[in-house]
């Protein structure tokens, strides 16, 4: 029986998947079957953290169930594996959602060239974004470097309605490889898969969206959607979420709440667009803000980086965030900004070191979002926070964790410290013996960063 190939990558779902719909329609036109393929790319497997690998395994298991147990997992270089599957099945085309991150674009070009030698096309339909990166340009023809006009153009451009979920897909039977075990995750992971994503999203729409503008900055509350991990793996498409937001507004949800959440999705697409045009932003600052000698090096860098990673800086709000990351593979967005600012501007450690640690532990670790958000905090990215904007870890904790609940949840050494006093334990009459004193003096390091900024100017 002839077949066509649906190559899943960052779209581990069946609903609102235009590439899958195109594959199914092509198969039905030719009375063919659909090979549901996932290539376990050894390059990506080796570079991914244990938490992401464990979550990926669970998400693939969920996708396999949705495909009636017919998901074909093959291990190896996609440029070798995909053509081999085509030869085995006699497929006339391979359908994918387009990739826009640097490695994905190179990989797809290599696969397309290998398929071309077989007379088979790589059909790219849709992407992981409502508006695919590289599609929006300024009036002068260049890429956007400022978020607000990008968001305006993004909204004006718009997007199609969510694609329907195909029914009764004629999945092909084909042998695959077993998933490698991989290292044990360091975190307790959320449920994976398309059904889990839709349940979490429905719950947020019902119970969280209305309060989102005020609650989203409070790590002591369940005020965010926590949908980033599902977006990362494509278990839900942002276009689906935007359509549901519009429906919620039509049902009476405050338009400001809808606009605020939709704006966060737009930030995600802005960062993807920046990386599309500037793939070097993955590892290099888009602009220099301080002299090279401003950064901590050698043994002190290692010492401070270790204390930061382990949540032992002596600043409770920072330490709570770093421990939440290790325990759950996720960190509240407000806290991500604070811990990043602390590393870069209090400890003077280059943003790349922090981004590397995040990617090693975050379940939602995504190259464009992670790297460009770090560059935003470090003041080196497009439309980034100015370098002289330095988060005070104490006042941030007092403002966004006013009763200290978040800190006490993640820093057990401080669970007996009541109220907001938990944010400055060094001021207690008897500081907890098992919690460290502040690693540095924030006021002093802030002045050092400002001096470095002036020298850089």
pLDDT above 90 (res 302): yes
State the CB neighbour count (10 A cutoff) for residue 310.
Answer: 13
Q: Does a structural domain hold residue 142?
A: no
Going 148 to 149 to 154 to 157, the CA torsion angle's sign is positive
**pLDDT tens string 209-256:** 999 999 999 999 999 999 999 999 999 999 999 999 999 999 999 999
* Cβ proximity of 226 and 328 under 8 Å: no
Banded pLDDT at 1 (limits 50, 70, 90)? low
pLDDT, tens digit, 9 for 90 and up, residues 105-123: 999 999 999 999 999 999 9
Same domain flag for 33 and 75 = yes
Number of domains making up the chain: 3
Q: What angle do CA 439, 441, 442 make, to 5 degrees?
A: 110
Exposed / middle / buried, residue 29 (Cβ in 10 Å: 0-12, 13-18, 19+): exposed
User: In CATH, what number is assigned to the domain containing residue 396?
Assistant: 1.10.579.10
The larger pLDDT score, comparing residue 148 to residue 30, is at 148
Q: Is the pLDDT of residue 356 over 90?
A: yes
Q: Are 242 and 297 within one domain? A: no
User: Do residue 213 and residue 318 come from a single domain?
Assistant: no
Q: Of 253, 277, 301, which closes a domain?
A: 277
The tens digit of pLDDT for each residue in 304-317 reads 999 999 999 999 99
| Per-residue pLDDT, 184 | 85
Q: Residue 42 domain-assigned? A: yes
Q: Is 254 exposed, middle or buried (0-12, 13-18, 19+ CB in 10 A)?
A: middle
Q: Which of 368, 391, 362, 365 is nearest to 378 (CA)?
A: 391
End-to-end CA distance of the chain: 67
**What are the φ and ψ backbone dihedral angles of 75, each rounded to 5 degrees?**
-105, 140
Residue 40, C-beta contacts closer than 8 angstroms, at least 6 positions apart: 73, 74, 75, 76, 177, 179, 180
Domain match, 249 and 317 both: no
Residue 91 lies in domain: 3-127
> Which element (helix H / strand E) includes 64?
helix 50-66
Distance, in Å, from the CA atom of 444 to the CA atom of 106, rounded to the nearest integer, reads 45
Q: What is the CATH number of the domain that holds 255?
A: 1.25.40.80
Do 271 and 313 have their domain in common? no
Domain check: are 104 and 200 in the same one? no
**H or E element that contains 129:** none
Among 127, 153, 182, give the residue marking a domain's end. 127
Instruction: Based on the fold, state whether residues 249 and 335 are members of the same structural domain.
Output: no
In terms of domains, do 322 and 235 share one?
Answer: no
Q: Which two tokens stand for residue 406?
A: 């978040």
Label residue 104 by pLDDT band (50, 70, 90): very high
Determine the pLDDT at residue 323. Answer: 97
Residue indicated by tokens 């147990």: 69
Does one domain contain both 271 and 308?
no
Same domain, 244 and 381: no
Angstrom distance (rounded) from CA 290 to CA 292:
6
Residue by residue, DSSP assigns 84-97 as: HHHHHHT-SEEEEP
Give domain status of residue 146, yes or no: no
Final residue belonging to a domain, choices 224, 244, 277: 277
Name the one residue in this structure whose structure tokens are 């039509």.
Answer: 250
Residues 360 and 418 in one domain: yes
Specify if 188 maps to a domain: no
The answer to whether residue 32 scores a pLDDT higher than 80 is: yes
Q: How far is CA 155 from CA 105, 361, 447, in A?
A: 26, 33, 40
> In terms of domains, do 65 and 212 share one?
no
What local confidence, expressed as pLDDT, does residue 386 receive?
87
């Amino acid at each position: 029986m002839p077949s066509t190939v649906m190559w899943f990558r960052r779209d581990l779902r069946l609903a609102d998947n235009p590439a899958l719909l195109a594959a199914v329609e092509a198969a039905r036109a030719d009375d063919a079957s659909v090979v549901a393929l996932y290539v376990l790319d050894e390059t990506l497997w080796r570079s991914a953290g244990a938490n992401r690998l464990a979550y990926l395994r669970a998400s693939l298991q969920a996708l396999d169930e949705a495909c009636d147990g017919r998901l074909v997992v093959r291990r190896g270089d996609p440029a070798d594996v995909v053509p081999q599957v085509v030869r085995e099945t006699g497929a006339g085309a391979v359908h994918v959602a387009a990739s826009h991150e640097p490695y994905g674009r190179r990989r797809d070009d290599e696969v397309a060239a290998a398929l071309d030698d077989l007379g088979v096309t790589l059909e790219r339909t849709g992407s992981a974004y409502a508006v695919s990166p590289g599609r929006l340009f300024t009036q002068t023809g260049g890429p956007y470097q400022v978020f607000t006009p990008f968001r305006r153009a993004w909204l004006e451009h718009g997007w199609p309605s969510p694609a329907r979920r195909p029914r009764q897909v004629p999945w092909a039977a084909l042998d695959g490889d077993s998933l490698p075990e991989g290292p044990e995750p360091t975190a307790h992971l959320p449920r994976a898969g398309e059904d889990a994503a839709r349940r979490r999203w429905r719950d947020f729409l019902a119970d969280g969206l209305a309060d989102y503008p005020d609650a989203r900055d409070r790590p002591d509350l369940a005020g965010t959607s926590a949908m980033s991990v599902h977006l990362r793996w494509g278990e839900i498409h942002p276009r689906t979420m935007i359509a549901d937001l519009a429906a919620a507004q039509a049902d009476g949800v405050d338009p400001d709440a809808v606009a605020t959440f939709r704006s966060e999705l737009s930030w995600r697409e802005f960062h993807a667009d920046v990386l599309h045009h500037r793939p070097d932003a993955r590892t290099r600052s888009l602009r220099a803000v301080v002299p090279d000698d401003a950064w901590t090096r050698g043994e002190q860098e290692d010492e401070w980086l270790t204390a930061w990673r382990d949540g032992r800086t002596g600043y409770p709000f920072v330490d709570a965030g770093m421990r939440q990351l290790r325990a759950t593979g996720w960190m509240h967005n407000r806290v991500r900004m604070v811990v990043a600012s602390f590393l870069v501007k209090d400890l003077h450690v280059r943003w790349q070191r922090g981004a590397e640690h995040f990617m090693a532990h975050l379940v939602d670790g995504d190259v464009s979002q992670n790297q460009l958000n770090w560059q935003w905090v470090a003041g080196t990215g497009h439309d980034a926070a100015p370098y002289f904007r330095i988060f005070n870890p104490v006042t941030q904790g007092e403002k966004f964790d006013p009763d200290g609940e978040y800190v006490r949840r993640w820093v057990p050494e401080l669970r007996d410290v009541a109220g907001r006093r938990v944010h400055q334990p060094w001021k207690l009459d008897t500081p907890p013996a098992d919690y460290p004193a502040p690693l540095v003096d924030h006021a002093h390091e802030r002045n050092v960063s400002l001096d470095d900024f002036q020298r850089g100017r």
